[in-house]
């Protein structure tokens, strides 16, 4: 069949909308009509050429929602007409990682996914007879996409595609980092670096967990109002802090008799390795945990004095908020439908596929929280 898609032909170049060929689903795969897809900073990270796993040409996009329109042989858990969210972190429930119960990082198809291919080692997408790579196993910047059954979460049918697509990455990553990875308790203090599409969801996750003090840090003062809208209690713009940022944040979080300072939990939602170090170092001595969410460019490395770890700070990372997609994503959709979490105000812009590059421009200029492409 044919599908309209935004193709990344070369690193650093705008996406180009084209009509591509798409082969139907093979054994264990489903064909999904994507109804809406968010644009995450990770799409920009790969488009820009900063992703060491980036392969071109490719169809990017990993934050979609849609409807199953065909199923391949052997598919048992899904049928035509099901409403679904594609999962860049699948959940096979059979691999050692899934069975360990210690991680959400299913390994069943990770190798071929990183090569931009379906599990059988081939691509379903092509243009003028030449293959186009898949991306993160999802390629939601295409009106139709093929997915392995294990990489699809079935959701309730009354959930609006143009909102719940955001659960395919940003919402689940932010809220999951708080609940699954950090396991934040009521009354905690937290610092969130980067108040974009991920950081604001960390903030709403912290509010949900009952955190007392939620400090947001961003270079863009417009993000103050955004953070407050979702539960942030204090805002810091590093450009406006006279002294060093870390001592400033430690000072702000001083509590109790010892007056040591430092947050119980900190989160990097920028992908900047200098910020990751600051996030670790403003965590509380003895128990503070710092969670790396941001994705850093090829070649970037993190560093700190080992003393920071010797004295009890914990450096952790999280992918997809530690969520097991087929199990957890339908639950997060329920939370949204029941009004436990907010999504609508964060979707600041919508656009047709033809205007997808405008979504990337808005992200660059710090004007959007989430842009969503509607098919
Ligand atoms: P975004 O562009 O919407 O937001 C980034 C925010 O960080 C912006 O508000 C920007 O002003 C701020 N910022 C940038 N540099 C800063 C600095 N030095 N100090 C303070 N603030 C700074 O991006 P997003 O979609 O929210 O994604 C954030 C990061 O999370 C990206 O690196 C993305 O690739 C990554 N990500 C990771 C996962 C995961 O599973 N680990 C999932 C989704 C996104
Ligand atoms: N390809 C990059 C890594 C990118 C990365 O870390 N991706 C996150 C999801 S970001 C979603 O917006 C992830 O899931 N990581 C776990 C995994 O298996 O990829 C690189 O640096 O090579
Ligand atoms: Zn993402």
Backbone φ, ψ for residue 222 (5° rounding): -60, -20
Active site residue 98: yes
Atom of ligand 2 nearest to the CA of 41: 12
- Residue 177 and residue 268 in contact, taking contact as beta carbons nearer than 8 Å: no
Q: Does 275 contact ligand 1 (Cβ within 6 A)?
A: yes
- Between CA 234 and CA 342 the distance in angstroms is 20
| pLDDT value of residue 242 | 74
Which of 89, 269, 291 for a ligand 1 pocket mutation test, highest count of atoms within 8 Å of Cβ?
Answer: 269
| pLDDT value of residue 281 | 98
**Omega cis (within 30) before 57:** yes
Ligand nearest to the CA of 299: 2
| pLDDT value of residue 257 | 86
Tens-level pLDDT at each residue, the chain (375 residues): 999 999 999 999 999 999 999 999 999 999 999 999 999 999 999 999 999 999 999 999 999 999 999 999 999 999 999 999 999 999 999 999 999 999 999 999 999 999 999 999 999 999 999 999 999 999 999 999 999 999 999 999 999 999 999 999 999 999 999 999 999 999 999 999 999 999 999 999 999 999 999 999 999 999 999 999 999 999 999 999 977 999 999 999 998 888 899 999 999 999 999 999 999 999 999 999 999 999 999 999 999 999 999 999 999 999 999 999 999 999 999 999 999 999 999 999 999 999 999 999 999 999 999 999 999
| Angle (deg, nearest 10), helices 245-252 and 273-281 | 40
Radius of gyration of the chain (CA): 20
- Between CA 89 and CA 67 the distance in angstroms is 19
Q: Measured at the alpha carbon of residue 103, what is the angle toward residues 98 and 107, in degrees to the nearest 5?
A: 50
Q: One of 4, 21, 44, 95 is an active-site residue; which one?
A: 95
Atom of ligand 1 nearest to the CA of 320: 40
Ligand nearest to the CA of 271: 1
Q: Whose CA is nearest to atom 5 of ligand 2?
A: 295
Q: Which helix (H) or strand (E) holds 124?
A: none
DSSP lists the bridge partners of residue 3 as: 20
Atom of ligand 1 nearest to the CA of 41: 25
How many CB atoms within 10 Å of residue 207? 18
What topology does CATH give the domain 174-319? Answer: Rossmann fold (3.40.50)
ipTM tops 0.95: yes
Closest CA to 173 of 41, 25, 308: 41
| pLDDT value of residue 349 | 98
**% helix, strand, coil for the chain, step of 5:** 30, 25, 45
Q: Whose CA is nearest to atom 16 of ligand 2?
A: 319
Q: Measured at the alpha carbon of residue 136, what is the angle toward residues 132 and 139, in degrees to the nearest 5?
A: 50
Name the residue ranges covered by the structural domains of the chain: 2-168+343-374, 174-319
Q: Whose structure tokens read 């450009």?
A: 239
Atom of ligand 1 nearest to the CA of 295: 32
Q: Measured at the alpha carbon of residue 294, what is the angle toward residues 167 and 372, in degrees to the nearest 5?
A: 35
The ligand 2 site (C-beta within 6 Å) comprises 40, 42, 51-53, 89, 105, 110, 169, 295, 319-320
Q: For the residues of 216-281, what is the DSSP string, one character each?
A: EE-S-TTHHHHHHHTT--EEE-GGG-SS-HHHHHHHHT--TTT----BSEEEE-S--HHHHHHHHH
| pLDDT value of residue 75 | 98
Q: One of 41, 207, 284, 326 is an active-site residue; which one?
A: 41
Could you tell me the CA-to-CA distances from 52 to 89, 185, 248, 300 in Å, in that order? 18, 36, 35, 11
Q: One of 21, 110, 229, 349 is an active-site residue; which one?
A: 110
Assign domain 2-168+343-374 to its CATH architecture: Alpha-Beta Complex (3.90)
| pLDDT value of residue 243 | 74
Q: Whose CA is nearest to atom 27 of ligand 1?
A: 41
User: How many CA atoms are closer than 13 Å to the CA of 364, on its beta-carbon side?
Assistant: 10
Q: One of 23, 44, 92, 229 is an active-site residue; which one?
A: 92
- Between CA 158 and CA 152 the distance in angstroms is 17
| pLDDT value of residue 256 | 83
Q: Does 168 contact ligand 1 (Cβ within 6 A)?
A: no
Active site residue 92: yes
């Amino acid at each position: 069949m044919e599908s309209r898609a935004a193709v990344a032909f070369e690193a650093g170049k705008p996406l180009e909308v084209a009509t591509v060929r798409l082969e139907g689903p093979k054994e264990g795969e489903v064909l999904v009509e994507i109804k809406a897809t968010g644009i995450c900073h990770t799409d920009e990270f790969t488009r820009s050429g900063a992703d060491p796993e980036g392969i071109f040409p490719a169809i990017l996009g990993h934050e979609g929602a849609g409807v199953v329109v065909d199923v391949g042989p052997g598919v048992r858990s899904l049928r035509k007409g099901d409403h679904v969210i594609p999962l860049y972190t699948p959940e096979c429930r059979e691999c050692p990682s899934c069975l360990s119960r210690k991680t959400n990082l299913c390994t069943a198809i990770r190798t071929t996914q990183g090569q931009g291919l379906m599990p059988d080692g081939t691509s379903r997408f092509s243009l003028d007879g030449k293959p186009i790579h898949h991306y993160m196993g999802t390629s939601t910047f295409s009106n139709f996409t093929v997915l392995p059954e294990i990489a699809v979460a079935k959701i309730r049918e009354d959930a609006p595609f143009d909102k719940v697509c955001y659960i395919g990455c940003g919402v689940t990553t932010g809220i999951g980092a708080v609940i699954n990875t950090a396991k934040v308790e009521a009354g905690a203090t937290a610092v969130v670096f980067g108040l974009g599409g991920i950081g604001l969801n960390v903030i709403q996750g912290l509010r949900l967990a009952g955190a007392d003090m939620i400090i947001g840090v961003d270079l863009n003062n417009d993000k103050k109002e955004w953070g407050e809208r979702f539960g942030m209690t204090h805002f810091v713009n590093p450009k406006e802090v006279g002294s060093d940022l870390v001592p400033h944040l430690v000072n702000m979080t001083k509590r109790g008799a010892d007056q040591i300072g430092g947050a119980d939990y900190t989160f990097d939602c920028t992908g900047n390795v200098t910020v990751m170090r600051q996030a670790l170092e403003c965590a509380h001595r003895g128990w503070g945990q710092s969670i790396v969410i941001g994705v850093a460019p090829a070649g970037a490395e993190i560093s700190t004095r080992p003393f920071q770890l010797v004295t009890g700070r914990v450096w952790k990372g999280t992918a997809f908020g530690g969520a097991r997609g087929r199990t957890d994503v339908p639950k997060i959709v329920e939370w949204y439908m029941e009004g436990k979490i907010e999504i609508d105000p964060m979707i600041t812009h919508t656009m047709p596929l033809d205007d997808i590059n405008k979504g990337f421009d808005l992200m660059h200029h710090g004007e959007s929280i989430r842009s969503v492409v509607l098919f």
